[in-house]
Amino acid sequence: MGGQDTSGRGRSRGRRAAPKSTGVAASGRRRKAGGARRRGRTDGAGRRGGALAAALPHLRRLRPVYPRPGRSGWRRWVPSWRQWLGACLYALTGLTCFVAFAYAVTDIPDDLNSFATQQDNVYYWSDGSTMARTGWVSRQEMPLDKVPPKVRGAVLAAENANFYSDPGVSPSGVLRAVRAAVTGGETQGGSTITQQYVKNAYLSQDRTLSRKFTELLLAVKLDNEKDKDQILQDYLNTSWFGRGTYGIQRASQAYYGKDVSQLNAGEGAFLASLLKGAGLYDPSLGPKNHERAQERWSWILDRMVETGQLTAAERAGYTKFPEPSPTSLAGIPGAQTGYLVEMAKAYAVKAGRIGESDFDLGGYQIYTTFDKARMTALTTAVQEAQKGFDPEKRPDTDKHVKIGAASVAPDGRLLAVYGGPDYLKQGFNESNATTIPVGTAFTPIVYAAALEEGVVRTRGKARTPVSPTTPYDGNDQATVQTPEGPYWDRSGKVLKGSNDGGRSWGQVPLRQAVADSVNTPMLQLGLDVGLDRVESFAQRSGLLASSLGPRIPTFALGENSKPSAIRMAGAYETFAAGGLHTDPYSVRSVTRGGSAVHLDAPKTTRAVSAATARTVTEALRQAVTDGSAKTAAKARPGAAGKTGTTAANTAGWFVASTEQESTAVVVYRMALTDLIPLPLTGLGGDAPGTPGSERAVRLWSAYAKAVK
């Protein structure tokens, strides 16, 4: 046992003693032990460091070290394929992130370009032909369903056959546009319809990379957010077609004089050709344009067959180029048209309950009641009458001559007016003016009131009826009576009536008093009926209360009432229409975007009985056959009319009715600066004593002959 114990201890002491005998060996072991301890403390870091060390050779190979080691000459400066690949990957990643960010922050603008929203208003004659347009931009919106499918097909074939399947952009077109923008070369085609619409509606026409980039982003976003049909509709309504027009509706009117809904495939193909450049393809601009237009028209039709928009058989039917009109649309209204437009606008805004600001945004089609032939005839008649006036030779009699005229149909339609020499020079409309007394042209209304209401001539007595044969005192200077006795004016004098030329007629029947324009019976009749009742009948016949003067005796002779020619024509039409009255109106209908705008219909009312209307008409017919207006008998047999004069001969009226219309003409002198009536005596060299109404009768006669 002891041997065993001694042997174990000996070995143990021997191991502990060894370091002391060899210092170097011990130190080495300490370093190793210390290293082991350090590795134990930094085990994770050690592993990471080892991985990094292992990857360093590869990273060094990708690092762009210039000049490249191991190469000589120019090869030292050429990147390796790995370096090229890395650069491309970095660039592609950056570009993708940039485009994604730009797309995310790009919003479709709420406001379109001004010309893409503003439209013009178009006015039409009663026969449907274009009369005038107003507005800064010649454009009219039209719903897509009003554009014939073949016309839409022509546009798609010409501009973007894959419109309904593309994402809103064309990659090949983009590349061509970028190259053109960078090099400054000719603008290339290839943009989709969506891109073209974005450029038209939201952007400028600048050829820059930034504008093109924005166009692409908006096109893609618009394609994702809007229906394709809506995009196509907006595109067709905002595109430039030449001749001052935006939108296919105005283009159709400018080139073919009709709505787009009436176009055929051939005409649609021509309009589609204009989208490539109206300045190059409008045939009216020269022979070269005509040749180019025909070639592109034929190509578009062939292309429609390729895209399935036309069959070969249909294409074979279009062999003749559809020549467009050589003239453009009617321009800004001037001359007489300006007066018509102003009246039609005022009526449409009121009857259609359209706000002024909404109307000025445009897009309305106003179908007026004005008859083009009658307008021409009336204007010609006035111009012929004016040839006899010489303000330089006869300034005291011929200076400041004004003429107003209006013609109204039995149902109230305004057929023609003469407003003045030129709307652009004088906006004041003579036909609608309330500046001159109507004179004795007012007396048929007094006569009608008497026939309907009867008269009171004795105080306390009931009303007694009158008839066409009831006699009245027609002597000059006859005293005006009231039930209480003579009528005293404010100056304390007994009022007496005066006849033209101082003529005394004796006892005359009322019908003759109207026909021969005898003043004294009508002055007395007004008081007998009651001026309040006469005023009521005047308003029922269409005269505005604001145009009627105070109820004094001369009210019955129209001395202080100033209705317009339009209103007087309407009042006389009441008698011709059997006692029914419809206020004159100038607009038949209004549409916007192909849809009708509601108009408050003019009301027809019973103004006087049919029997009274017939009796008044008989007196007016007698005035034309052998009365104060007998010079008009040859112009239109059967016409019924009445002259109108004033005490100072400052106005000459003639109002007459036929089966087709009632027309009022007024001739007067007045400086528009002070609005003071001037006498017509000696006008145009007329002999002294010639009433001013004779000029009005002659003018009406010339007009009546022209419109038979």
Alpha-carbon span 642 to 645, nearest angstrom: 10
- 667's enclosing H/E stretch is strand 662-671
pLDDT reported for residue 184: 52
Domain boundaries, the chain: 60-105, 136-316, 439-586+598-706
41 confidence band (pLDDT: 50, 70, 90): very low
Average pLDDT of the segment spanning 39-47: 47
Question: For position 327, what pLDDT does the model report?
Answer: 60
pLDDT at 91 over 70: yes
Average pLDDT, the chain: 83
- Residue 478: per-residue pLDDT: 94
Three-state DSSP state, 286: coil
| Lowest model confidence (mean pLDDT) among 206-215, 324-333, 433-442, 603-612 | 206-215
DSSP string covering 127-174: TS-EEEEESSSEE----GGGS-HHHHHHHHHHH-TTTTTS-S--HHHH
Helix (H), strand (E), coil (C) string for 355-396: CHHHHHCCCEEEEECCCHHHHHHHHHHHHHHHCCCCCCCCHH
| Chain center to CA of 584 | 23
Over range 424-431, report the average pLDDT: 86
pLDDT above 80 for 28: no
* Helix (H/G/I), strand (E/B), else coil: 464: strand
Residue 6 has pLDDT above 70, yes or no: no
Residue 181 is predicted with a pLDDT of 54
Q: Give the side-chain half-sphere CA count within 13 A for 77.
A: 2
69 pLDDT higher than 80: no
What's residue 687's pLDDT? 87
Average pLDDT score over residue span 242-246:
80
Query: Is the pLDDT at 318 greater than 90, yes or no?
Result: yes
φ, ψ for residue 204, nearest 5 deg: -85, 175
Do 620 and 514 meet the contact criterion of CB atoms below 8 Å apart?
yes
> What pLDDT score does 37 carry?
45
- pLDDT for the residue 183: 57
| 171-189: pLDDT as tens digits | 766 666 556 555 554 444 4
Higher-confidence residue of 205 and 497: namely: 497
Instruction: Look up residue 89 and give its DSSP letter.
Output: H
pLDDT, average across residues 72-92: 72
The larger pLDDT score, comparing residue 159 to residue 370, is at 370
Mean pLDDT for 549-566 is 95
Q: Give the alpha-carbon dihedral of 196, 198, 201, 206, to 10 degrees.
A: -80
pLDDT digits (tens, 9 = 90+) for 581-601: 999 999 999 999 788 999 998
Q: Which pLDDT belongs to residue 54?
A: 61
**Phi, psi torsion values for 351, nearest 5 degrees:** -70, -30
Which of 700, 682, 690, 667 has the alpha carbon at shortest distance from 439? 667
The tokens describing 33, both together, are: 């032990």
Q: Which pLDDT score is estimated for 401?
A: 94
The percentage of the chain sitting over the pLDDT mark of 70, rounded to a whole number, equals 79
Distance, in Å, from the CA atom of 525 to the CA atom of 537, rounded to the nearest integer, reads 14
Structure tokens at 649: 């001969």
DSSP SS3 for 277: coil
**Does the pLDDT value for residue 342 go beyond 70?**
yes
Task: Check pLDDT > 60 for residue 378.
Answer: yes
Measured between alpha carbons, how far is 584 from 122 in angstroms, rounded to an integer? 21
- 478-495 confidence digits (pLDDT tens): 999 998 889 998 888 999
Residue type for position 140: Q
Query: Residue range 215-236: average pLDDT?
Result: 81
Least confident of 32-46, 76-90, 439-453: 32-46
**Is the predicted pLDDT of residue 320 greater than 80, yes or no?**
yes
β 662-671/401-408 pair status? antiparallel
> In the chain, pLDDT over 90 holds for what percent of residues?
54
Q: Write the DSSP string, 527-590.
A: HHH-HHHHHHHHHHTT--GGG---SSGGGGGTSS----HHHHHHHHHHHHTTTEEE--B-EEEE
What superfamily would CATH give domain 136-316? Answer: Biosynthetic peptidoglycan transglycosylase-like (1.10.3810.10)
Confidence of residue 97 (pLDDT cuts 50, 70, 90): confident
The yes-or-no verdict on residue 421 having pLDDT over 60 is yes
Of the candidate ranges 202-206, 440-444, 548-552, 663-667, the one whose mean pLDDT is the lowest: 202-206
- In this structure, what token pair is assigned to residue 583? 């206020």
Q: What is the spatial distance between Cα 488 and Cα 474, in angstroms, rounded to a whole number?
A: 20
Q: What is the CA radius of gyration of the chain?
A: 47
Instruction: Using CA atoms of 653, 657, 658, 659 in order, give the dihedral in degrees to the nearest 10.
Output: 160
More confident call, 247 vs 508: 508
DSSP 8-state class, residue 506: -
Strand order in the sheet with 245-246: 138-139, 245-246, 240-242
Q: Which residues of 370-402 are buried (b: 16+ CB within 10 A; e: fewer)?
A: bbeebbebbbebbeebeeebeeeeeeebbeebb
Other C-beta atoms within 10 Å of 421: how many?
Answer: 16
- pLDDT on residue 29: 43
Architecture of domain 439-586+598-706: 3-Layer(aba) Sandwich (3.40)
Q: Is the peptide bond before 67 cis (omega within 30 degrees of 0)?
A: yes
As a whole number of angstroms, the distance between CA 159 and CA 178 comes to 19
- Residues whose CB is less than 8 angstroms from the CB of residue 261 and which lie 6 or more positions away in sequence, other chains included: 142, 146, 147, 148, 594
CA distance 394 to 85: 98
Q: How far apart are CA 41 and CA 38, in angstroms?
A: 5
pLDDT of the residue at 278 = 84
Catalogue the long-range contacts made by 132-136 (C-beta closer than 8 Å, 24 or more residues apart).
Answer: 132/330, 132/331, 132/332, 132/333, 132/337, 132/338, 132/340, 132/341, 133/329, 133/330, 133/331, 133/332, 133/333, 134/332, 134/333, 134/341, 134/345, 134/362, 135/360, 135/362
Contact 403, 431 (CB under 8 A): no
Residue among 613, 468, 484 at smallest CA distance from 537 = 613
What pLDDT, on the 0 to 100 scale, is given for residue 422? Answer: 86
Give the tokens for residue 211: 């504008």
- Is it true that 136-316 and 439-586+598-706 share their CATH fold? no
Of the pLDDT bands very low, low, confident and very high (cuts 50, 70, 90), residue 105 is low
pLDDT at position 362 over 90 = no
What pLDDT was estimated at residue 172?
Answer: 67
